């Protein structure tokens, strides 16, 4: 092989590798995949990864009570940011039968694009999730406006000093028990 042929061959190899690399790049996961990953991470106990999938503005709202605890108690309280993520309605990815975008799928989402996902579980329960495109990726936007977070996580300075809920009464012990003599 002559030097000229070697150079052509090397240039051809570089060009084919560049073409393959540009065509084979992994795409960012879509809203459906991000939501499934969010639920999967919760189920596996990988709460830090699940929290990363939450929209940054929503995540900041979730962490507000933690700031109150830091101010009132100090930093030795033992709570972490992942302790603020409490998911109650769907925490098992194996319950999800379908996750579909409602309406049109945005081919090239713009910053701030919102999409609704329709969720159907194996037992035919239905729900929805909101996803937001920000910073080149999709995030889960938890419906904090639909939940009275003050009822779920009460900042320490707002707790009432009044009586707490009384435990349920235990049935009185029966005195006329039968036993053999």
Domain segments of the chain: what residues?
26-156
What end-to-end distance do the CA atoms of the chain give, in Å?
Answer: 110
Average pLDDT over residues 140-144: 85
Provide the whole-model pTM: 0.61
* Class of domain 26-156 (CATH, top level): alpha beta
The CA dihedral of 132, 136, 138, 141, to the nearest 10 degrees, is -40
Low-confidence winner among 41-45, 102-106, 154-158 (lowest mean pLDDT): 154-158
Please, what is the average pLDDT of the chain?
73
Query: Is the pLDDT assigned to residue 163 strictly greater than 50?
Result: no
pLDDT of residue 15: 57
Token readout for 165 is 């809920």
pLDDT bucket at 81, cuts 50 / 70 / 90: low
Query: Is the pLDDT assigned to residue 135 strictly greater than 90?
Result: yes
């Amino acid at each position: 092989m002559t030097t000229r042929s070697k150079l052509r061959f090397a240039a051809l190899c570089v060009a084919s590798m560049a073409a393959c690399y540009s065509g084979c790049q992994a795409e960012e996961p879509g809203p459906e995949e991000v939501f499934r990953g969010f639920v999967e991470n919760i189920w596996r106990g990988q709460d830090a990864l699940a929290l990363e999938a939450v929209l940054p503005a929503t995540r900041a709202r979730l962490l507000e009570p933690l700031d109150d605890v830091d101010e009132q108690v100090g930093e030795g309280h033992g709570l972490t940011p992942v302790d603020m993520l409490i998911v109650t309605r769907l925490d098992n990815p194996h319950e999800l039968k379908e996750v579909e975008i409602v309406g049109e799928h945005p081919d090239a989402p713009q910053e701030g694009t919102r999409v609704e996902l329709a969720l159907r579980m194996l037992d035919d329960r239905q729900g929805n999730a909101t996803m937001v495109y920000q910073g080149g990726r999709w995030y889960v936007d938890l419906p904090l406006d639909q939940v009275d977070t003050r009822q779920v996580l009460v900042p320490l300075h707002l707790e009432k000093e009044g009586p707490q809920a009384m435990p349920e009464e235990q049935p009185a012990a029966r005195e006329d028990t039968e036993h053999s003599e």
